Amino acid sequence: MQFDWSWFWPELFGALNDTMYMIIVAFLISILIGIPLGIILVITRENGILENKAVFNILNIVVNVLRSIPFIILIVAIIPVTRLIVGTSIGTTAAIVPLVFYTAPYIGRLVENSLLEVDPGTIELAEAMGATPWQIIWKFLLPEALGSLILSLTIAIIGLIGATAMAGAVGGGGIGDLAISYGYNQFQTEVMVITVIILVIMVQFIQSLGNYLSKKIRRS
Amino acid sequence: MLILEGIRKVYGEGGDNPVEALKDINLEVKKGEIFGVVGYSGAGKSSLIRCVNLLEKPTSGKVKVNGTDLTKLSPKKLRAERKKIGMIFQQFNLLHSKTAFGNVAMPLIIEGYAKEDIDKKVRKLLSFVGLEDKADHYPEQLSGGQKQRIGIARALATDPHVLLCDEATSALDPDTTNAVLELLKQVRDELGITILLITHEMNVIRDICDRVAVLDGGVIVEQDSTINLFTEPKTAIARSFVRTVLNDALPEATLKKVLEKGESNSVYRILYKGESANDPLLSDVAKKFKIDINVIYGTITEIQGQPFGNIIVELNGDPQEINNVVDYIKGRQVTIKEVKSDAV
Ligand SMILES: Nc1ncnc2c1ncn2[C@@H]1O[C@H](COP(=O)(O)OP(=O)(O)OP(=O)(O)O)[C@@H](O)[C@H]1O
Ligand SMILES: [Mg+2]
């Protein structure tokens, strides 16, 4: 069977466009939620600078619950929420909702871990200097954790790319959709191969960029 | 200046196994003084110094700095007070993401100083600690001693009146330790800053502390001027600390030999300090009395710049004459004690 390329390229670019849209929007929203979430998990925990058992326990449980649901189930499970927010449960924009539900808690955990890696002596120092909790976060914790935070966000965005491809399979569009509907359902191996290559290149590129930036910040 | 009143610190209170790290600590550090607290691992040294700026909240008791009881302050007022209490750490606690300059600037940045003022002040501090040429270096490009100098410069940035030193030299080699101790002395002498330091190294006490407290099991078991503690330690633990830098134990074999001779009243330890160390005591004795003096053992150390001699002599001769010698030596303001077989 001769593969017809003429329809494929525009289709591919459309799909790539959708994918980028989903990744970028979902990532930005997830960062806006996930980074503060991670910070709050660190400062409210036991012996944190603003220890608060109730807040910590609630957020901790929420994150655990969301993190334990496989993405494909999460998409279906939160359909009512998705409808409420974007008015529909299918399409590229609708896919962003479960993507955020999936990625934000993940980023929260990763950020939490990065911040916990910061030498406790740093916080002690900041407190001894008379820094406010806000200053401790912005002027001590985050700058000291920056290299590690960038690696964490790299991991998160790669996870998001995978989830985006999956979201495509259930009607979100993008290259995941392309791969399933043509590559898998219609046995067009070429489509499958090309989408896989594109995904691999994306992940490689982002990982290298993340490594580079993190290295530069850590000066090592 | 700095007063600790009835400080108790219990970790894990109400839990399964609470640890009482400090039990009723009372301490006063005078203005311009370098006060040392020495103790073995687990004695509660870190707990003690961390209670001073409330990094660790005392379970009970008062911490008064310049008359203000820190334990009673609101978080905001406490932060303001902490700015007047500098602190340096065993592991330096430098920010890896900042240069030496950036590290020293940190207290000024959080104080909201203008950029030019920060610049001027930081340059001045860096030159005070002798590292103006290292301003743009990151911590990992600095040696341990240089890191601690940066730590000191940073602690001085807000012109504190007290400096707390938590094992400030314990991670440094002996030469570097001496240099950092010199710098601390300079901090006190030139800037008039009161220093409270904790350490497990007796040489730190010997070299820079005016007064010293010995901490054991969360209790101050002995407290005195450095020279007195070194020359007349009263507790066994103080004595063993003194021995770490001032070995005055008589060699076992010598002691045995001397005591076996059966003549009692013949082996004496002579301790002299300060001015009296410069007098030719033994040669005077030899000239004035008809006895033989045999020096078995002797050391002379400097404690806080004052010579301190510790010699053990055997006096041979008529017992009456020996008594006269002992009286004569006592009359010269020098300590002389008979050495017994359980010699201490
Ligand atoms: N955060 C804590 N929680 C529970 N116990 C603690 C805590 N910090 C210290 N302790 C306990 O309090 C006692 C005194 O500890 P501290 O760290 O003050 O001793 P230290 O004299 O500084 O010892 P080192 O020389 O080893 O640093 C120890 O028994 C220690 O186990
Ligand atoms: Mg300690």
- Mark yes or no for CB contact B79/A132 under 8 Å: yes
Rounded distance between C-alpha atoms, residue A122 and residue A137, angstroms: 11
Based on the fold, state whether residues B226 and B286 are members of the same structural domain: no
The pLDDT tens digits for B65-124 are 998 999 999 999 999 999 999 999 999 999 999 999 999 999 999 999 999 999 999 999
The CATH number linked to A211 is: 1.10.3720.10
The whole-angstrom separation of Cα A58 and Cα A48 is: 16
Specify which of A89-93, B208-212, B295-299 reaches the highest per-range mean pLDDT.
Answer: B208-212
Q: Which domain holds residue A45?
A: 11-218
Specify whether B183 is located in the same domain as B266: no
B44 Cα to the center of ligand 1, angstroms: 6
Check which CATH number belongs to the domain holding B18 and give it: 3.40.50.300
Q: Is residue B344 part of a domain?
A: no
**Reported ipTM:** 0.83
Answer with the residue of higher pLDDT: B327 or B22. Answer: B22
Give a yes or no: residue A6 inside a domain. Answer: no
Q: Which of B47, B57, B95, B99 to mutate to test the interface with A (most CBs of A within 10 A)?
A: B95
- Tell me which of B64 and B248 has the higher pLDDT: B64
> Cα A123 from chain centroid?
28
In a domain, A2, yes or no: no
CB atoms within 10 A of CB A220: 9
The residue among B180, B215, B245 that closes a domain is B245
Residues B231 and B257 in one domain: no
Two structure tokens written together for B23: 């039990």
Residue A4 domain flag: no
The residue out of B192, B216, B245 marking a domain boundary is B245
Q: Which residues pair with B166 in a beta bridge?
A: B198
Residue B202 has pLDDT above 80, yes or no: yes
What is the pLDDT averaged over residues B208-216? 94
Give the model's confidence band at B327: pLDDT under 50 very low, under 70 low, under 90 confident, else very high. Answer: confident
Atom of ligand 1 nearest to the CA of B56: 1
Whether B284 and B171 map to the same domain: the answer is no
Residue A69: strand, helix, or coil: coil
**pLDDT for B341:** 56
Residue B343 lies in a domain: no
> A51 in a domain, yes or no?
yes
Supply the range of the domain harboring residue B256: 252-338
Q: Is A177 on the interface with B (CB under 8 A)?
A: no
Of B245, B261, B289, the domain-final residue = B245
Taking the Cβ of residue B98 and every Cβ of chain A, the question of whether any pair is shorter than 8 Å is answered with yes
Domain count, chain A: 1
Residues lining ligand 1, CB < 6 A?
B 11-12, 19, 21, 39, 41-47, 200
Smallest CA–CA distance from A128 into chain B, residue: B82
Q: Are B82 and A125 within 8 A, CB to CB?
A: no
**Residues B304, B177 within the same domain:** no
**Looking at CA atoms only, how far is residue A46 from chain B in angstroms?**
12
What are the chain A neighbours of B78 within 8 Å (beta carbons)? Answer: 130
**Is residue B220 domain-shared with residue B328, that is, in the same domain?**
no
CA separation for the pair A84, A87 (Å, rounded): 6
CA-nearest residue to B54 within chain A is: A128
The reply to whether B113 and B217 lie within a common domain is yes
Q: Are residues B222 and B256 part of one domain?
A: no
Say how many Å lie between the CA of residue B58 and the centre of ligand 1: 13
B261 pLDDT band (50/70/90 cuts)? low
Q: Is residue A5 part of a domain?
A: no
Q: What pLDDT does residue A141 have?
A: 96
Q: How confident is the model at residue B204 (pLDDT cuts 50, 70, 90)?
A: very high
For residue B35, what pLDDT is reported? 96
Alpha-carbon span A49 to A141, nearest angstrom: 11
Number of domains in chain B: 2
Residue B235 shares a structural domain with residue B272: no
Greater pLDDT, B262 or B170 = B170
- Residue A123 and residue A135: Cα distance in Å, rounded? 10
Q: Does A121 touch chain B (CB under 8 A)?
A: yes
Q: Is residue B77 part of a domain?
A: yes
Residues of B in contact with A127 (CB under 8 A): 55, 82
Side chain identity, residue A138:
W
Task: Please answer yes or no on whether B106 and A119 come within 8 Å at the CB atom.
Answer: no
Asked which of B27-31, B210-214, B298-302 is least confident by mean pLDDT, the reply is B298-302
pLDDT tens profile B289-310: 888 888 888 878 888 777 888 8
Lowest mean pLDDT among A119-123, B179-183, B241-245: B241-245
Contact yes or no for B295/B267 (Cβ under 8 A) = no
At residue B209, does pLDDT exceed 90? yes
Which residue among B79, B98, B164 sits closest to A130, beta carbon to beta carbon? Answer: B79
Secondary structure (DSSP) of B162-191: EEEEESTTTTS-HHHHHHHHHHHHHHHHHH
pLDDT at A10: 86
- Give the distance from residue A113's alpha carbon to the nearest chain B alpha carbon, in angstroms: 18
pLDDT confidence of residue A1: 55
How many Cβ atoms from other residues are within 10 Å of residue B297's Cβ?
A: 18
Rounded percentage of chain B residues whose pLDDT exceeds 90? 61
The answer, as to whether pTM is greater than 0.80, is: yes
Res B247 pLDDT > 80: no
Sign of the CA dihedral with B238 first, then B240, B246, and B249 last? positive
pLDDT at residue B259, rounded to an integer: 67
pLDDT band (50, 70, 90) for residue B344: very low
- Residues B234 and B326 grouped into a single domain: no
Chain B residues with CB-CB distance to A149 below 8 A = none
Centre of ligand 2 from the C-alpha of residue B46, in Å? 4
Q: For position B295, which CATH number holds?
A: 3.30.70.260
Q: What is the DSSP string of chain A?
A: ----HHHHHHHHHHHHHHHHHHHHHHHHHHHHHHHHHHHHHHHHSTTSTT--HHHHHHHHHHHHHHHHS-HHHHHHHTHHHHHHHHS-SSSHHHHHHHHHHHHHHHHHHHHHHHHHHS-HHHHHHHHHHT--HHHIIIIIIHHHHHHHHHHHHHHHHHHHHHHHHHHIIIII-HHHHHIIIIIITT--HHHHHHHHHHHHHHHHHHHHHHHHHHHHHHT-
The mean of the pLDDT values for chain B is: 88
For A192-201, B88-97, B180-189, which range has the lowest pLDDT when averaged over its residues? A192-201
Interface test with B, best of A46, A114, A119, A125 (most B CBs within 10 A): A125
pLDDT at residue B325 is higher than 50: yes
**A107 domain residue, yes or no:** yes
A214's CB contacts (< 8 A; 6+ apart) are A147, A148, A150, A151, A154
Residue B320: pLDDT above 60?
A: yes
pLDDT of B281 higher than 90: no
Report yes or no on A179 lying in a domain.
yes
Instruction: Tell me, yes or no, whether B177 and B285 share the same domain.
Output: no
Are residues B232 and B161 part of one domain? yes
Task: Give residue B221's Cα distance to chain centre.
Answer: 15
Domain contains A1: no
